Structure 1
Amino acid sequence: MKRVVITGIGAVTPIGNDIKKYWQSLIDGVSGSSLITKFNTENFKTKFACEVKNFEPLEVISKSEIRKYDLFSQYALVATDEAVKNANINFDQLNKDRIGVIWASGDGGVATFEQQLAEYHLGNGTPRFNPFFIPKRIINIASGLISIKYGLRGVNYTTASACSASNTAIIDAFNYIRWNKADMIIAGGSEASITASSIGGFNAARAMSINNENFKEASKPFDTTRDGFVLGEGAGAIILESYESALKRNAPIIAEIVGGGLAADAYHVTGTHPDGEGALLGMKLALEEAEINPSQIDYINAHATSTPTGDLSELKAIRSLFGTKPNASISATKSMTGHLLGATGAIEAIACIMAVQENIIPPTINSQNIEPEFADNFDFTLHQSKAKTVNYAISNTFGFGGHIASSIFKKFSE
């Protein structure tokens, strides 16, 4: 099996549109929550979300291309551009047949779909659809656009496992490279789901916070007063590469990926198993693949969306595997970014990579009253980041349908 390293990362998030700003906001404990500007929320229960601010794609995407691409694809291309530049890649000097893209999304071009359907009905049912309607909205188009932009002819597809989708993409990329089926893969995910149908749908499912009076602090994982997640948007891109390939081109190596666990709750369409059985299995599989024991994990980036049952099931799984008062610090960065659905695994994997590289644990903000059953069990890293040597970090993501994905990142050493 080949070793797989991380040589580039890029991000577009509600708390920063590049890696430097994103990471600084994470360690400073900045909330990305704000009142929704993308549509009129007057008749909606939830009036806030974690929107991307001041997004400027023109440095990467031309005006003509912007008209053809849904926002989720624009986020993908901008995040990937940063990752490619950080990795110092000149694709023309590499074998593009062995470089691929595995990209995730949960909703794809949902905003495009809404807009075109509204225009259809406003036009009294006359079918005058935009010729770019289909390629703008299909979920796999971001993966295709990245491949086309750089001329990459290797493996190319989209993972669609709801909120675990981009972590699944990262794990798939890891496996393709270590099995010697690729030299390099751009993996990650993007989402632009702050739309009327998404907000309305999640409200109907009673999954989303309605704390409009205190929206900056509405995302509060593990807190006894939590009332649901806060929707986010953006993208995260990660360059995974074989160690040999990175050495050959003298690439900057940021971290190493050493394990990935994919599993299922097999329990409920939207709810997690009350005892966290799927989460436990995913983490166990990742640890087994990494050939390490739970005590070697220094940081757990929890999925922790702030839903009443989801947070508890994950904590039960962590306690089952790591015991009480483990070495690992836990934090829920969704308290700052909100929940980016299909893109969440990518930006949280990046948080783990940065924690490994910088030896800093980002905090869980907003949470004041931790579930009493677990309050004394774990280091939840509340309110402030802290310095700590991080040799191994694990990123957990879970999705509707019972999808489970856990990945492990290691401090790189030759």
Structure 2
Amino acid sequence: MTAALAITHDDVVDAAKALHGHLVDTPCVPSRTLSQLTGSNIWVKFENLQFTASFKERGALNKLRQLNAEERARGVIAMSAGNHAQGVAYHAGRLGIPATIVMPEGTPFSKVERTEDHGARVVLKGSVLAEAAAEAERLAAEEGLVFVHPYDDPDVIAGQGTIALEMLAAAPELDTLVVPIGGGGLISGIAVAAKALKPSIRIVGVEVEAYPAMDQALKGQPIQVGGDTIAEGIAVKNVGRHTLEICRALLDDLILVSDADVENAVALFLNIEKTVAEGAGAAGLAAVLAQPEKFKDRKVGLVLCGGNIDSRVLAQVIMRHAVRESRLIAVRVMIPDRPGTLARIAGLVGDAGGNIIEALHQRLFTTTSVKATDIDLTIECRSKRHAERVVAALREKGGFEVKVLAGGVE
């Protein structure tokens, strides 16, 4: 006999009723451009439009609302890479509950500051979430605080599952939901609710290659994860006991994506949907782009689960994406060191429609003649074809020897 799962569809429905009016019923709308790009029919659930820019508010509030007066007086504690922290801090503040949040030391500054802005005490401890969790458990025991787990708590899981109710209400034709996995709370709640409403629906989880904890746990393998990733929101070492049971019962597929895939998805959300996605929030789109054959012609709902990305990281993602699309190229031009040569190069690039962003002479670190020099140019172009024309102009019209350093052009 199959053991009962930690939550039921009724738990999710009860959570939805309780949370109504306290959270944003975020839009779930089709994306024509992403559909054309992937070969599937894409809908996006914009959970980055919650007040704290993440779905985590749902589970946090569903847990906090059920605390009794004595527990509220003692206060709560949570460990989080950022989004759960903000969800707990914000709604604890609204409800007058003292909150302490333990975060890994590498958490982006923006998430730390926003958590403190909501009135929580922030403690930075450990390099990964597991170490932050150990500190949170220690403080909970020492100070008598109520521990609010980010994913392995039935009330939290049920709160996250309310997303599925909204998605299927907005787009009942969806036949596949693609959901990022960290500890598994989001996908567990969604899977329970969605499968109850539509048993035929496919639930596909996504993890980054550096942190495949759920994939390894489902296969009975030892958990071996670690390293830097742009998707720090799902960089989780230990999956939950409840979430593992639910995923084992209800998950249809699990896809691992590279950081490059996630970077590309973050940039596409910005360029196409004009919306900001953090790495974890873009993981679903990354999976569809990485393995389009699994989603061809299907009606796919993507959960854009968060938008809290550090502005410096986002700036780098934008520029790196421009390089991958050859809209930004770096070239080295070998030239005679004579007056007017640089002006001629600039004229050739300009006539070809390129825009020189940066120019750097290399007179010392070069193997060319002492009477020659290398000049490194960063050039903005419209597309790869345009970049090829700019390089061709330098080579063919200018007669210069050109080496492409970056930008995908030969």
For normalisation by structure 2, the TM-score amounts to: 0.28
TM score, norm. by length of structure 1: 0.28
RCO comparison, higher one (Cα < 8 Å, 6+): 1
Task: Please tell me whether Structure 1 or Structure 2 has the larger radius of gyration of its CA atoms.
Answer: 2
